[in-house]
Every structure is written in C-alpha cells, then in structure tokens.
Chains A and B, each alone.
Chain A
Amino acid sequence: MVSRREFIQAGLAGSALLAGSGLGSIGRLAAQQRLSEAELLRFEPLGNVTLIHVTDLHAQLVPIYFREPSINLGVGEAKGLVPHITGKDFLSHYKIPAGSPMAYALTSEDFAALARNYGRMGGFDRIARVVKSIRAERGDRCLLLDGGDTWTNSWTSLQTKAADVVEAMNLLKPDAMTGHWEFTLGADRVKEITDSLAFPFLAQNVRESEFEDRVFEPQKMFERGGVKVAVIGQAYPYTGIANPRWMFPKWTFSLKDDDVQKEVDAARAAGAQLVVLLSHNGFDIDRKMAGRVKGIDVILTAHTHDALPEAVQVGKTLLVATGSHGKFVSRLDLDVDKSGVKGFRYRLIPIFSDAITPDAEMAALVKKVRAPFEADLGRVLGKTDGLLYRRGNFQGSLDDVFTDAMLQVRDAEIALSPGVRWGASLIPGQDITFEDVTNACAMTYPNCYRTSMKGSQLKAILEDIGDNIFNPDPYAQGGGDMVRLGGLTFTVDPYQTSGRRISNLKLARNGQALDAGRDYTVAGWASINQGTEGPPIWDVVSTYLQQKKVITPRPLDAVKVVGAG
C-alpha cells in the first residue's frame, strides 16, 4: 500500500515554502500565488473506485471562515487520539508546518492572522469545481456521497425550507446521502424532499415507531469501475434526543451494531466487493463501531466536524473525516478486486475559495437562490474587534455574543446557548451582518425563552449535558459540545463520572455561589420542547448588536477545565 503520509507530505510540498517566513507575516497575495488550484487538486490516481465525500455543509452555499477547535477533549479510549488533538499538537502529529495553508485549514493556531492570508474556505461553486474535476479524471469510477447536515442552518435554507440547498445539491448530483439536522425540517418536509430526489436518502437506523417499519432505504448497491459497491446509510442515531422529537414523532432512531452487521452481511451476500458506511454517527462512535462490526471497508464519518489529513485505520476499516462547512472535499481512491481492497490513496482537499475557480453553473445557481434574500443577508448589525468563533468543547467568543445578548435583551440572570458544532467564524475588523448571525443560529426551533429555574436544576442540566459529551463510552455520548453559559462560571472535570463533573458554580456578576434552592431567571434558545415561546434568537442577537455596535471579545475564563492532563 502507498503510504498516506508520504503522499500528504508530497501534496503539501508547496506549503512548506510558506513556513519559513513566520506566522502569518507573508502577504495575502503571495500566499494565494502559492495556492494554485492545480496543486490543491493534484492526486496520483489509484485503482478502480474513487469515493468523493462531502459532509456537514450546514447549508453554507458561499465561502466562510471557520476556526477549528482549540479544545476537543477525548475521553475513554479516545483520549489522546485523533481527532482529539488540537493546535500545535495536531500540527506536529501530522508534520504540518506552522503558518502553512493546511495549518490554517486544520487548526486554530494563529487563525486570525492566517485567515487574512489564505481567505475564506468552501462555497458550493468551488466544491462543484473540485467534484467535476475529479469526475472528469475518474469517470465512472466515482461515487459522490453526502454525509448529511447538509440542508439546514443558513438563513436562505430556513426561509426556503431547504429548497435552496436541495437545488444546489441536485446540481452536484450526489449518489446517496444520509442525515441528521435534516430531520429538524419535520417529517413531512423530509419525506417531501427525499421522495423528490434523484438519489437515495439512506438510513438503516430510522424506523416507524409503531411496528418498526423502515422509513428510508437502508443501503444501495452501485457498480463503479467494474466494482460492486454497497453504500449503507446510518443517520445520526441520537437525533431523537439531541433535537426536537416532536418534529418527527412517528420515527425512531437507533444505534445497534447488530443492525449494521445485518446490512453489511446482506451487502456481501448480494456480491458487494466494497462496503461503505455513509455514517452520521460521529467519529468516536464510528471508531468503536469499526471494531465491532465486521466487513466494513470504509466509514465516511460526519457529525463531529473533524477534519483529518489522513485516513484512520481500525483493523481493516478505513475512517475518513472530511470536516465541515464546505472547507474540505475528501477523495479516496481504492484499488478493489474480488478479494477486497488492495490499496488506497487519500487526500483531504482544502477548498481555498481564492485559489479554486468557481464553477460557473453552480455560482449562477447560488446567486439565484440567494437573490431574494440579499438585502437581509447583507444588513450590517455591528462590527467585531476580535476573532469570533464557536467550535470547541466550551464557550467560544461568538457564544459570548449570544449569551450576552440574551442576558441583556431578555433581562435574564443566566443564559443558556446550545453547544452546536456549526456556526461560521468572524475575523477581527469584520462587519457583523445578519447573515453572520443567522449562520450561527438559523434553525426551526429558534425561540428565545425566558423562564425560572432552580440552581439545582441548572446544575442537573450541566451534569446531564456534560455526560453526553464526556461519557467515556462513545455510544453513551449524544449531542454536541458543552452548553454555553452566560452569567455563570464553573469548573469542569471531564474525566469525572456522571453527576460529578461540574463544580464551583458561581454567578459571574458577583462571584456568589449558585444557590441550589433559589429560582433564577434564565434565558435560552434551541429548546427541544414543543411550544417554547419567545422571540427568535436572531432577533435577540440583532437587537443586542445594534445597541452595542462594536464587539470586543473578552478573555474566555468563565469555564475552568481541570483533570484534563
């Protein structure tokens, strides 16, 4: 087999040139000149099948900034393993030069400065260019697979009930997809869209809740490059917990090795030479599943937004992690014969929007679907002095904007903001537009409630969510990152057991300990309960930004992490 590392290093040869000149000090023009499209797409083809993977696009039709996490702790068996290494450790693990394009794309190191050099990433028109170029080279060997979290979380998607993204994806012509946030469009809308698609929405683990009938096709067999390829769909197994179940009350989701094994066995019995799990489990669940289900050749991972420059091998199974928000497209070439996979070559292709030529057809479509909303999207609400981002296990600077907005506009003592992994970043000096705000909160259950909660309830909520993130067994983890808090500071020990991770809860305004028996006024959004009342969160944040005008991020010291060493 070809060594992946050698190949990655070869692919990044251009980037090494950039390293010597110091972090972020190289000019934007010079940086872009070194980032040629040909270099980004360079790939020595291998074998008879090419898998192209996109995932977690979160309806981001146009290029964005997205800072990868600086804190992404691994627990249990995942401790210290990718994707749970970040920053400088990540760079040294993959031998990526600091300040290089891949350092910018894959880590949080020196992000604001590098963002000025290397610019925005993603965009459906650039993705289309890359996909078309691979297809032009590899012809009928290609399978384009979409891992889900594609249709939701932009303003235009929310306004069109995902019609904009669906139209754009149809132009990209995927061969199959699976999903998670898609379900927050509601069961009827999901069925309406999936019934209209020219490709299957695959989900072996979604069933009708009464008699457990299938809702979607579990798998599909393709023939590519003369190879029979089975693609099995695995939707996010905890959608019914992490998101409002009332939006799809007759569907039930599951995480069962046995059910996946049955699908793999059925695929093999039907002659599959290559078995691919198009998964939205999240990386740690997939890594565990790869060790428990026999006969999966490739797992295309999603959900946890990890971007890894090499495939991870678990036994005979390859795991690919393609990142999020359109920052990357994965290309995995496989040499497959009757006895299975003989070799592979992988590249995580970074979508540098300034280096990759937009595909004209997709660019026109994106322009068309955005046109009715341009005035809203471009409305400037304020400006930021510093870097604003969300992604990471704990509160980011963009989350501070959301929790501060709720405290002020909803006149609350404590604010709760969900730890979703999506939401684009903003760099220092950038105007904050309505599009920027909605990229971090456009969803179908946006109401910002104002209610009363006892201190003990708040502690219980934090512990419960803490266990969903830091339970040492990935199969017992659910949802996203830790809930974000306004008005409250705390200490967390991720390596403690359930109910014992959170301590030292204090009110930020006066340092007083949270009183278990006292009622506090709490504002929050993204409640999974039906009938939650309150203005949509984007109105709350817009109001706040218009009052505040300039955001100056403060040190992120509300959460103290202990025991992580």
Chain B
Amino acid sequence: MSNKPTPRVRVPANAKKDEIIEIKTLISHEMESGQRRSADGKTIPRKIIHTFTAAFNGKVFFEATWHPSVSANPYQSMFFRASQSGEFAFSWKDDDGSVYESKAKLTVA
C-alpha cells in the first residue's frame, strides 16, 4: 500500500454535441481515516485524499470534498455535458500535499 496512488478513469472518447456523458473514476489509496488505532494503541494518523476535481479545457465542472468516511480506493462518478472537443483533467489532492492527475481527450462530433 505504499505504492503511489494510481488513478483510473473511464470516460468516452467520443460524444455527440450536448450529449450528457458519465465519467467513472477510481484511485488506489488507503484513505486512512485517523479514527483507527494500531496494535500498540496509538491512533493511526489521518491520510486521505480530500479533494477531487474534474475540469474540461481548464475549467472545473465538478468538485468533490471527501471526508474520512469515504472508502479506501475511492470511487467517484459524475456527468458532463459535451459541448466541444477538448481535454479532461482530473486531479486528486492528498493530505500530504501530493496531487495525482489523469487526463483524457474527448472528441465531439
């Protein structure tokens, strides 16, 4: 679990103009809640991804704030109205300051 979190995104490569498409994302991450104790009784410090953003051509269209109750390997789906061709940028912000990113192109016919 010390591996670098890896995002996976499922987004259609093509869409018709004004089609509403579903985007599904997953990222490998333990989402340590800060609520658990280790065998020696010490509280395991919180380390979660706290923010997820989805942007298209540089403009954020969806943002999620995640609290410690979000499951490990967090999943997030959302929708997007396809208006023009361009590029999605998804980002996940970790408590430790890391930012994980994934990009995907969309062609609108």
Contacts and interface: CB of A to CB of B under 8 A. Distances in A.
Interface of A: 210-212
Interface string B15-38: 000000000101000000000000
A536 to B, nearest CB: 32
B10 interface: yes
Contacts of B26: 210-211
B79 interface: no
Nearest to B26: A210
A211 B10 CA distance: 8
Contacts of B24: 211-212
6 contacts: A210-B26, A210-B75, A211-B10, A211-B24, A211-B26, A212-B24
A210 B24 CA distance: 10
A245 to B, nearest CB: 14
Which 5 A-B pairs have CB atoms at the shortest separation, nearest pair first? Answer: A211-B24, A211-B10, A210-B26, A211-B26, A210-B75
Contacts of B75: 210
Interface string B23-56: 0101000000000000000000000000000000
B9 to A, nearest CB: 10
Interface of B: 10, 24, 26, 75
A212 B10 CA distance: 11
Nearest to A209: B75
Contacts of A210: 26, 75
Contacts of A211: 10, 24, 26
B39 to A, nearest CB: 18
A210 B10 CA distance: 11
A491 B72 CA distance: 41
A212 B24 CA distance: 10
A562 to B, nearest CB: 39
Nearest to B75: A210
A226 B93 CA distance: 59
Contacts of A212: 24
A212 B76 CA distance: 12
Nearest to B25: A211
A551 B10 CA distance: 61
Contacts of B10: 211
A213 to B, nearest CB: 10
A329 to B, nearest CB: 44
A211 B76 CA distance: 10
A105 B75 CA distance: 50
A210 B74 CA distance: 10
Nearest to B10: A211
A212 B22 CA distance: 13
A209 to B, nearest CB: 9
A338 B106 CA distance: 44
A258 to B, nearest CB: 15
A212 B75 CA distance: 11
A159 to B, nearest CB: 37
A110 to B, nearest CB: 54
A219 B64 CA distance: 35
A254 to B, nearest CB: 15
A244 B75 CA distance: 23
A530 to B, nearest CB: 18
B40 to A, nearest CB: 23
B35 to A, nearest CB: 21
Nearest to A212: B24
A546 to B, nearest CB: 43
A256 to B, nearest CB: 16
B76 to A, nearest CB: 12
A210 B75 CA distance: 8
A211 B75 CA distance: 8
Nearest to A210: B26
A212 B25 CA distance: 11
A211 B24 CA distance: 7
A365 to B, nearest CB: 45
A297 B4 CA distance: 52
A496 to B, nearest CB: 30
